[in-house]
Amino acid sequence: MGGAASSPAVTASAAWAGAGAGAGAGAGAGAGAGAGAGAGAGAGAGASASASVGAADGGTTVSSSSSAAAASRGDAGTGGCRVLRGPIELPVRAAAALALHGDSLEVALNDDGRPRILTFAAGAVPAAAPNAPDPPREGADGGTVPGYPIACAVAGDRVFCPDRTGAVHRAGKDGGGDRLVASSRTGTRVSASVLGGSHAAMAYLASQQTSEG
């Protein structure tokens, strides 16, 4: 391979977790520490509710907000957005993966290969009180600890979290059943999804030496 003989080739690899695995596919998705991610759900006619997560003052925070969709704009925009709760400091300073389940917002944090799951209520948006002050900032109970800036990937009840060495851990949402299932390229993202209703597929990037050297 010419001058590339001393460099490992980068290849895309996939690993399966769960019974009856057959084929894997995935697209990388995630956010580093300090980056934002969002998830939303409809709440009432002509209104939307959303939650965002990012890094503020050295720690990861989450806040929820709502905005009424103005017919003249054709979208929700940001001008009418009001904060419903937070910002809420999270216990692990790490990238976060968000998922909405009914009236609950699930936040998955990467504690260096171990998942830390938090759940926040995300129900109907209350009516706005006139001249209501912004809600207070909420600190993390017991303080915060540093995590890993690569987000976990959630597939059903399984969570895949890379650690600082590139090893990818598979565990339940409670952290139980931790098992190493792959060795990814350090600092790269992983992606996971549920296929066929019960099979979890995980995709990752790996460095491998080719037969040509």
Whole-model pTM above 0.75?
no
Tell which wins on pLDDT, 101 or 40: 101
Please compute the mean of the pLDDT values over residues 86-104 and round it to a whole number.
90
pLDDT given at position 33? 35
CA angle (99 as vertex; 93, 103 as ends), nearest 5 = 115
Q: Where are the domains of the chain?
A: 10-30+150-213, 34-147
Place 127 in a pLDDT band, splitting at 50, 70 and 90.
confident
* Whole-number Å distance between alpha carbons of 213 and 200: 34
Over residues 181-200, mean pLDDT? 93
- pLDDT at position 143 is 87
Q: pLDDT over 90 for what percent of the chain?
A: 40
Q: Which residue has the tokens 């925070």?
A: 61
Query: Which residues have a Cβ under 8 Å from the Cβ of 71 and sit 6 or more positions away?
Result: none
pLDDT at 57 over 70: no
pLDDT over threshold 70, residue 8: no
pLDDT at res. 83 = 82
Judged by average pLDDT, the poorest of 45-49, 112-116, 160-164, 194-198 is 45-49
Provide the 10 A C-beta neighbour count for residue 140.
17
Per-residue pLDDT, averaged over 169-186, amounts to: 94
- Give bridge partners of residue 60 from the DSSP assignment: 55
